[in-house]
């Protein structure tokens, strides 16, 4: 099945052309022209979303669940075409796109099942106590209610699972909130075909067409207009720290500030304890190399740092990692801009005093090759910039002279999406000492694994203290993500006829 994009925005059920266009820059295959978003497109989409909220926000959970399942069905019906255009635009292998499509449809179906159970509403009831002294208590009921139209920004590194109908969109729609998506210019054709799937589901279940709109990228002013539009009540974002912080500040500066749920990246450090290093050092090193280079390192949970105790074993660990990384061929990065940023990050790390190059390579144009560096804990602690994310397959080994110094490294960390412990039974006491620090630093702490796999489930937390995310109490993955687009309402002495479902 061949898909030829028409390059228009989807606004309130209509495909709208623009005054100007931008041309896509695919990794391979033909390029296409797409309309550049305009301020008036943002206003039209937001107005339609507000109108849709009065029906969609108050429809039954069953209808919303059916709608979510239908979006998943329509995406699967376009599977071959989605893989084709997604692979061309992103350079990701077909198997990765197929897996990501499964994750996208899987989370839509999971959210559909979750809202039918009703637990997410957090319903509470304090019955009236008219005879209570010294004052009677009224009848009080509380439940979570949808907040209104939500803006979602497509991510560069996940053209399906974190973009047009990805986690933020699925969570907002599950909550009862219409969505306006600003598509990412790295994969506009993929965004368009997914929008067609959502549009088909809207028609099938007679959902208000303003419930979903897609405005293509190409203009930063559109993003600013979207987060400052007075009808938008929350924002979901996955992207860079600089871009996310700029949008966050705009949300906070509005006359009516709104929540900005930004996932901004992380270095995801691993702490390798002495017992694990002695017993499984080579295995951990090879696993780290595989995780570090998966998808050219373009995962927000890419484990970029390994902290180990300095010894002959740590030198073996470094050499095993180097050997494994040296066998990885060049990989295509998602965009030219990401490739440039990766090279800039590599040069920043290489230029840091006290940094030893263990594996250096040559990457050019849109290709990425691995790099591996090593430094001491004291040098790490003296250079704040080493804690900044390098988006790509670059690893840093930090050698500590003691467990106390390892803890100092942990204490120096900014907020993280993940922290990992590699430990055996004899490392339990050392790990216990580090745990209070790590759970304050990260949204997810894991043992004896690698963080690049993020399960979409009830228990997953994909977030963390700033700058990993802008809201430490939220997650952008899993059913708990729906709560971001709800707010509690208390109903006092209201008759049942006035209460929500």
Q: Are 297 and 339 in contact (CB under 8 A)?
A: no
Of 198, 167, 170, 179, nearest in space to 53 by CA: 179
Angstrom distance (rounded) from CA 56 to CA 178: 7
Nearest to 393 by CA among 295, 266, 293: 293
Catalytic, 256? Answer no
Q: What are phi and psi of 12, to 5 degrees?
A: 55, 45
Residue 497 tokens read as: 């006829």
Tokens of 454: 């993020």
Within the chain, how many helices (H) and strands (E) appear? 14, 21
- Vertex 458 angle, CA 452 and 464, to 5°: 55
Q: Please report, for residues 62, 206, 392, the alpha-carbon distance to residue 482 in angstroms, rounded to integers and kept in the order given.
A: 16, 23, 30
Residue 300 a catalytic site member: yes
Q: Are 444 and 468 in contact (CB under 8 A)?
A: no
Identify which of 243, 194, 193, 199 has the alpha carbon closest to the alpha carbon of residue 223. 243
Extract the tokens encoding 433.
Answer: 């000492």
The catalytic position among 300, 389, 403, 405 is: 300
Is residue 380 within 8 Å of residue 409, measured between CB atoms? yes
Q: Are 143 and 121 in contact (CB under 8 A)?
A: yes
> In whole angstroms, what is the distance from residue 322 CA to residue 230 CA?
52
Q: Which of 50, 89, 263, 405 is catalytic?
A: 263
> Known catalytic residues?
263, 300
């Amino acid at each position: 099945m061949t898909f030829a994009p028409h390059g228009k925005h989807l606004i309130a059920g209509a495909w709208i052309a623009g005054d100007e266009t931008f041309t896509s820059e695919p990794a391979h295959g033909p390029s296409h022209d797409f309309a550049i978003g305009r301020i008036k497109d943002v206003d039209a989409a937001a107005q339609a979303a507000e109108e849709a909220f009065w029906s969609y926000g108050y429809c039954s959970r069953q209808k919303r669940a059916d709608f979510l399942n239908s979006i998943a069905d329509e995406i699967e019906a376009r599977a071959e075409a989605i893989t084709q255009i997604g692979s061309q635009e992103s350079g990701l292998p077909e198997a990765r796109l197929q897996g990501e499509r499964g994750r996208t449809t899987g989370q839509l179906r999971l959210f559909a099942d979750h809202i039918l159970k009703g637990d997410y509403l957090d319903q509470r009831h304090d019955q009236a106590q008219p005879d209570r002294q010294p004052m009677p208590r009224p009848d009080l009921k509380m439940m979570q209610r949808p907040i209104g139209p939500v803006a979602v920004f497509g991510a560069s590194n996940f053209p399906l699972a974190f973009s047009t109908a990805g986690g933020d969109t699925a969570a907002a729609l599950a909550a009862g909130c219409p969505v306006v998506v600003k598509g990412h210019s790295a994969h506009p054709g993929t965004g368009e075909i997914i929008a067609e799937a959502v549009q088909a589901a809207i028609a099938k279940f007679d959902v208000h067409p303003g419930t979903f709109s897609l405005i293509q990228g190409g203009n930063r002013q559109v993003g600013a207009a979207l987060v400052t539009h007075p009808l938008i009540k929350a924002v979901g974002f996955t992207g860079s720290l600089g871009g996310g912080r700029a949008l966050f500040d705009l949300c906070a500066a509005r006359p009516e500030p709104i929540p900005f749920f930004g996932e901004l990246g992380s270095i995801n450090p691993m702490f390798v304890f002495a017992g694990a290093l002695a017993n499984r050092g080579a295995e951990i090193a090879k696993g780290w190399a595989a995780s570090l280079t998966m998808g050219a390192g373009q995962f927000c949970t890419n484990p970029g740092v390994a902290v180990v105790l300095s010894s002959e074993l740590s030198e073996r660990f470094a050499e095993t990692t180097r050997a494994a990384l040296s066998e990885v061929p060049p990989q295509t990065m998602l965009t030219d801009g990401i490739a440039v940023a990766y090279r800039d990050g590599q040069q920043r790390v290489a230029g840091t005093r006290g940094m030893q190059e263990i594996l250096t390579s040559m990457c050019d144009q849109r290709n990425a090759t691995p790099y591996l560096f090593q430094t001491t804990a004291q040098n790490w602690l003296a250079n704040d910039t080493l804690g900044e994310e390098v988006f790509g397959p670059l690893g840093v080994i930090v050698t500590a002279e003691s467990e106390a110094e390892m803890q100092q490294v942990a204490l120096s960390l900014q907020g993280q999406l993940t922290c990992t412990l590699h430990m055996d039974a004899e490392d339990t006491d050392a790990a216990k000492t580090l745990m209070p620090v790590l759970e304050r630093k990260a949204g997810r702490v894991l043992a004896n694994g690698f963080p690049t796999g993020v399960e979409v489930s009830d228990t997953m937390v994909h977030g963390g203290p700033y700058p990993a995310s802008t809201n430490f109490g939220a997650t952008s993955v899993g059913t708990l993500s729906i709560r971001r687009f709800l707010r509690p309402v208390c109903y006092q002495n209201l008759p049942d006829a006035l209460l929500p479902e």
